[in-house]
Structure 1
């Protein structure tokens, strides 16, 4: 009997401690996992888990209506370009980490690229359940729990 691969696909954008935890836990939760890292110098050092695939561009990540995309760094200069590209896909859910009490830098980056407000509003921020996450693993757990709740139409949600 052949195992059935889940259609769920988690894409973590940018190599970071949070993306490592997201990909590791995502695999255990049945997601097909991909790391998108446009800057190869960010991958220096000892080999680390990168899920099922490592690509340098979102267009190589096989995005479908079953895909959840999480940007794990809101300070990178590529956020506008990557989010604009993500918004042009069939991704089910798109989010970026950040403080819920401040407008994210992705908003201005997308405005500068001419992305309409209704499209910008599709980018979730904050991400994850409000459990007081502090460490990369806690942030990953909160994010994945929120994605699972959202997929299952449960009230876990993303409300703060």
Structure 2
């Protein structure tokens, strides 16, 4: 017998869903990061922006924790790097991979090689750790705008957390 509330009852507001222990760390302030963090908070994530450049660290939605030093995400955390052109890409990913974080991903076009692979190899990161980095991230919904990319990313994270493939297959 399960103690989880019925999904239908939760959807109709008849019972409250117990809060989940989960964190979303969006790495680098970007338009996608703003939407990711805003929507993540709505989904019950503790939303954290990690932006090592203090000048850029001011661009976060209200209520989001902003860090200019690398957080140490725990096993409840999902880390999404929102800009693969930044010079800190390798060191930021190396730090995330050194933690027990649940999931690490980098946004980017799947038709182009991920620059994170060479950046991590140059830092001596082991191949099994490099393979932990998801790219592309999110569900394939044809996202074009920052808001759509954020929705696809979060839908993919929710599907992954729930052991589901995403899409219309049940």
The two structures have a TM-score, normalised by structure 2, of: 0.84
Structure 2: gaps (5+ residues): 1-16
Counterparts of 1:121-140 in structure 2, within 5 Å, are 121-140=131-150
Q: What's the offset of the Cα at 1:6?
A: 2.8
Residue 11 (1) aligns with residue 25 (2): yes
Paired with 1:87 and 1:48, the residues of 2 have a C-alpha distance of 24
Q: Could you say which residue in structure 1 is the equivalent of 2:163?
A: 153
Residue 57 (1) aligns with residue 69 (2): yes
Q: Deviations over 1:121-145 (max 9, x none)?
A: 1000001100000100000000000
Q: Could you say which residue in structure 1 is the equivalent of 2:10?
A: none
Q: What's the offset of the Cα at 1:17?
A: 0.5
Q: Could you say which residue in structure 1 is the equivalent of 2:43?
A: 29
Contact 2:94 2:120 in 1 (8 A): yes
The two structures have a TM-score, normalised by structure 1, of: 0.89
Secondary structure of the residue aligned to 1:127 is coil
Counterparts of 1:33-44 in structure 2, within 5 Å, are 33-43=47-57
- Whichever of the two has the greater Rg, that structure is 2
Paired with 1:55 and 1:149, the residues of 2 have a C-alpha distance of 27
Residue 82 (1) aligns with residue 96 (2): no
- How many matched pairs? 151
Q: Deviations over 1:94-138 (max 9, x none)?
A: 000011112111100000000111110100000110000010000
Structure 1: gaps (5+ residues): none
RMSD: 1.7
Q: Which runs of 4+ in 1 moved over 2 A?
A: 3-6
Contact 1:35 1:50 in 2 (8 A): no
Paired with 1:146 and 1:134, the residues of 2 have a C-alpha distance of 16
